[in-house]
């Protein structure tokens, strides 16, 4: 087990190092950030001074090693644009993204798996057919369009929910969260639906496919022959058997949504990290881009690691395979 953890850790370090080099070179290739942010009154002298002040006059490899040196001391650098430490900048916006993403991914999974199992268990009923038709919509309609329609319908026409932004927050462990307040929840509803729609569709399809397959297996036949009730079969046996792909997808979706909920965050003016990274790219704020992508790489490696552990817990075959 320890060897497994160490191997995973080394993998993570490699991925993050590669990521930092790629981002560094990529941003360097686009050009000098100074030319985007310099004001028109600036003279040639002022431009040179500013480049020197940010250390952009040094060769690329030198800039990179300074960055790595600071990183090893736990300093990810300061944003060019905001002049505050990058970690503080990202940390200040993480709770907003975290609560939005958790609410949408968890509700999409719970609802999607339930509907999917039903659709797989009774594939011929008209309810199942409706569920599947809706899931096709969830897949195929672009999410920015759905977001705008949600705003138009619920905020502008009906006036039931706010059009964007984050609601009132309360402090828990020194961090501001908006889900415990009524105002906060009313702000979360629309972006969460927008974000959840695609995942809901995917969960429905995964759960349905798994259910149809498992219902035909000998496990279920023997369970039925043994007189076990249908409810118990679904809950105790079927759910466990179909959960491996669902957990994998849940983990990956959680990660990618946390990192890249950009479209929804932009449309709903949600002050999260996805919005931050897009804005940083627009002005070539390299410290934020590099730090953020390294953190994302770290996040994915961690999530995959946790998923592997969970597999081992729920599936004895994986557990014994790993031991052998």
Partner 1 sequence: MIFQKFLAPIALAVGLGAAAAVSAQTLTMGVRGGPESMDPHFSALGPHAEAAKHVFDTLVWSGDGLQIEPGLAESWTPIDEDTWEFKLRQGVKFHDGSDFDAEDVKFSIERIPVVTGPTTTTIYVRRVASVDIIDTHTIHINTDGQAATLPNDFIRLFIVSSEAAADYSTPETAAEGFNSGKATIGTGPYKFVSWQPKGDLVLARNDDYWRGEGAWETVIRKEIPNDSSRLAALKAGQVDVINYVSSVDYLALERDSAIDAVKGDSVYIMNLQLDQREDTPLVRAIDGSDLDDNPFRDLKVRQAIDHAIDRQTMVDIVLEGLGKPANQMMPPGFFGSSEDIPMPTYDPAKAKELLADAGYADGFEVDLYCTADRLPGDGAICQGLGQMLTQVGIKTNVNAISKTVYFPAQARLEYSMFMNGWGTLTGEASYTLGGLAHSNNPDVKLGAFNRIEYKNDEVDQLLQAGATMMDPDERRATYEEAMEKVVADKAYISLVQLQTVWGAKAGMLEFTPRFDEDTLAFFIKPAS
Q: What is the smallest separation between the CB atom of 178 and partner 1, expressed in angstroms? A: 12
CA 103/CA 110 separation, integer angstroms: 11
Q: Nearer Cβ to partner 1, position 166 or 208?
A: 166
Phi and psi angles of residue 175, each rounded to the nearest 5 degrees, phi first: -115, 140
Q: Nearer Cβ to partner 1, position 75 or 308?
A: 75
Q: What is the smallest separation between the CB atom of 95 and partner 1, expressed in angstroms? A: 12
Q: Nearer Cβ to partner 1, position 9 or 153?
A: 153
Q: Residue 204 gets which letter from DSSP? A: H
Q: What is the smallest separation between the CB atom of 294 and partner 1, expressed in angstroms? A: 20
Q: What is the smallest separation between the CB atom of 290 and partner 1, expressed in angstroms? A: 16
Q: What is the smallest separation between the CB atom of 256 and partner 1, expressed in angstroms? A: 21
Q: What is the smallest separation between the CB atom of 183 and partner 1, expressed in angstroms? A: 5
Q: What is the smallest separation between the CB atom of 253 and partner 1, expressed in angstroms? A: 24
Beta strands in the chain (DSSP E): 170-172, 175-177
44 three-class SS: helix
Q: Nearer Cβ to partner 1, position 208 or 275?
A: 275
Q: Nearer Cβ to partner 1, position 48 or 213?
A: 48
Can you give the binding site for partner 1, defined by CB under 8 A?
30-47, 49-50, 53-54, 80-84, 89, 92-93, 148, 151-152, 155-156, 159-160, 162-167, 182-183, 186, 266-269, 271, 275-276, 279, 281-284
Residues 6 or more apart in contact with residue 322 via CB below 8 angstroms: 1, 4, 312
Which tokens sit at 13? 């370090």
Q: 316-323 and 286-314 helices cross at what angle (nearest 10)?
A: 100
CA 243/CA 315 separation, integer angstroms: 10
Which tokens sit at 248? 């994998």
Q: Nearer Cβ to partner 1, position 126 or 182?
A: 182
Query: How many residues can be counted in the chain?
Result: 324
CA 258/CA 250 separation, integer angstroms: 12
Q: Residue 84 gets which letter from DSSP? A: S
CA 10/CA 199 separation, integer angstroms: 31
Q: Nearer Cβ to partner 1, position 19 or 155?
A: 155
Which tokens sit at 79? 């944003």
């Amino acid at each position: 087990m320890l060897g497994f953890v160490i191997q995973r850790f080394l993998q993570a370090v490699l991925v993050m190092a590669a990521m930092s080099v790629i981002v560094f070179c990529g941003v360097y290739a686009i050009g000098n950030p100074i030319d985007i942010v310099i004001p028109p009154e600036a003279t040639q002298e002022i431009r040179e001074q500013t480049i020197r002040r940010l250390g952009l006059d040094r060769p690329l490899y030198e800039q990179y090693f300074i960055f790595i040196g600071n990183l090893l001391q736990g300093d990810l650098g300061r944003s060019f644009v905001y002049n505050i430490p990058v970690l503080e900048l990202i940390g200040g916006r993480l709770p907003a993204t975290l609560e939005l993403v958790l609410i949408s991914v968890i509700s999409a999974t719970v609802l999607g798996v339930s509907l999917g199992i039903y659709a797989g268990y009774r594939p011929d009923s008209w309810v199942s057919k409706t569920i599947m038709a809706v899931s096709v919509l969830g897949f195929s309609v672009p999410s920015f369009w759905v977001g705008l329609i949600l705003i138009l319908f619920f905020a502008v026409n009906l006036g039931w929910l706010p059009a964007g932004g984050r609601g009132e927050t309360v402090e828990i462990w020194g961090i501001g969260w908006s889900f415990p307040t009524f105002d906060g929840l009313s702000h979360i509803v629309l972006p969460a639906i927008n974000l959840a729609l695609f995942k809901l569709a995917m969960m429905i399809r995964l759960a349905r496919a798994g259910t149809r397959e498992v219902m035909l297996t000998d496990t279920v036949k023997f369970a039925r022959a043994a007189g076990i009730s249908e409810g118990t079969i679904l809950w105790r046996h079927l759910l466990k058997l179909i959960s491996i792909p669902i957990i994998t997808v849940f983990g990956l979706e959680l990660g990618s949504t946390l990192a890249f909920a950009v479209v929804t965050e932009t449309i709903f003016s949600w002050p999260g990290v996805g919005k931050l990274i897009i804005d940083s790219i627009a002005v070539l704020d390299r410290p934020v881009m590099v730090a953020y992508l390294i953190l994302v790489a770290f996040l994915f490696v961690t999530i995959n690691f946790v998923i592997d552990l969970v597999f081992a817990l729920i599936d004895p075959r994986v557990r014994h395979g790993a031991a052998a």
